[in-house]
């Protein structure tokens, strides 16, 4: 998960908290502990209908909403470049019909893209391979620019690269807002924050996100 190694004591503490959280989930408090605060699954459309046919689908997975906001800003930036853009949650399984390019985004949870986003790429692999496609990942560990951090974040999307070797890729720092997490995840995150240095708070760099959206599909 992290490029940083956990000490044995730290590992046991994190594992203990994770186990405690699971026990809570399985016990009587489970429903309350895993209740997710309401999240805005943004659906937006930007840009004018365009006869040249530069219609882009941006579809994203999210648990706490920050990836949806990143997808939305990418959409606004592409529209300013003249693209017509639809931003849609991947859980709605949007069709690729009528689009000339597609961007898929997901946050990282416990070292992986969310399943629904991976599933979308898998299900649409054949069509996505024949069109301009890009992937973006939102995460909070392995953000630095040293070799280890780069390798660790590349590992997050290795299964996706196998499916879409030609896709452009971007990695963006995310947001950890405990208020947007169910109790059970707040406990887990507290353990991860103290043991692996997972940062809490909004680390998103909107300049970097807009810069990428200004050059993707150039």
Q: Is 174 in the site for ligand FMN (CB under 6 A)?
A: yes
Q: Which stretch binds ligand FMN (CB under 6 A): 27-35, 81-89, 120-128, 185-193?
A: 185-193
From 42-50, 71-79, 139-147, 207-215, span contacting ligand FMN (CB under 6 A): 139-147
CB of 12 to ligand FMN, least distance (A): 18
Angle at 116 between CA 160 and CA 204, to 5 degrees: 75
| Residue 141 contacts ligand FMN per CB under 6 A | yes
Rounded-to-integer distance, Cα 64 and Cα 129, Å? 29
Taking the C-alpha atoms of residue 12 and residue 188, their distance in angstroms, rounded to an integer, is 13
Structural tokens at position 74: 């990418």
Q: If binding is defined by CB under 6 A, does position 6 make contact with ligand FMN?
A: no
Helical H segments across 27-101, by residue range: 30-33, 66-80
Number of residues that bind ligand FMN (CB under 6 A): 24
- Contact string (CB under 6 A) for ligand FMN, positions 105-134, x = contact: --xxxxx-----------------------
Stretch that binds ligand FMN, among 4-12, 76-84, 127-135, 180-188 (CB under 6 A): 180-188
Q: 10, 18, 163, 189: which one contacts ligand FMN (CB under 6 A)?
A: 189
Helix, coil or strand: residue 105: strand
Lay out the site mask for ligand FMN across 37-76 (x = CB under 6 A, - = otherwise): -------------------------xxxxxx---------
* Token pair recorded at residue 80: 């300013």
Alpha-carbon span 142 to 132, nearest angstrom:
27
Beta strands in 142-212 (DSSP E): 168-173, 175-176, 201-202
Residue nearest to ligand FMN (CB): 174
| Beta pairing partners, 134 | 103, 168
Closest CA relative to residue 64, chosen from 119, 107, 110, 121: 107
Q: Which residues bind ligand FMN (CB under 6 A)?
A: 1, 62-67, 107-111, 138-142, 174-176, 181, 185, 188-189
């Amino acid at each position: 998960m992290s490029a940083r190694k956990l000490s044995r004591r730290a590992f046991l503490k994190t594992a203990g908290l994770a186990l405690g959280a699971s026990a809570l989930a399985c016990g009587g408090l489970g429903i309350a502990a895993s209740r997710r605060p309401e999240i805005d699954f943004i659906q937006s459309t930007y840009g004018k209908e365009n006869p040249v046919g530069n219609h882009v689908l941006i579809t994203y997975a999210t648990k706490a909403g920050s990836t949806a906001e990143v997808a939305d800003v990418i959409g606004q930036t592409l529209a300013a470049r003249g693209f017509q853009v639809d931003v849609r949650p991947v859980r709605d399984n949007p069709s690729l019909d009528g689009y000339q390019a597609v961007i898929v985004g997901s946050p990282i949870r416990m070292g992986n893209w969310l399943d629904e986003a991976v599933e979308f790429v898998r299900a649409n692999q054949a069509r996505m391979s024949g069109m301009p496609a890009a992937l973006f990942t939102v995460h909070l560990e392995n953000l630095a620019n040293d070799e280890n951090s780069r390798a660790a974040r590349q590992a997050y999307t290795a299964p996706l690269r196998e499916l879409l070797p030609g896709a452009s890729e971007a990695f963006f720092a995310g947001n950890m807002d405990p208020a947007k997490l169910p109790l059970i995840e707040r406990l887990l995150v507290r353990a991860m924050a103290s043991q692996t240095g997972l940062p809490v708070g909004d680390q998103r760099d909107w300049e970097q996100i807009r810069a990428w959206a200004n050059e993707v599909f150039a």
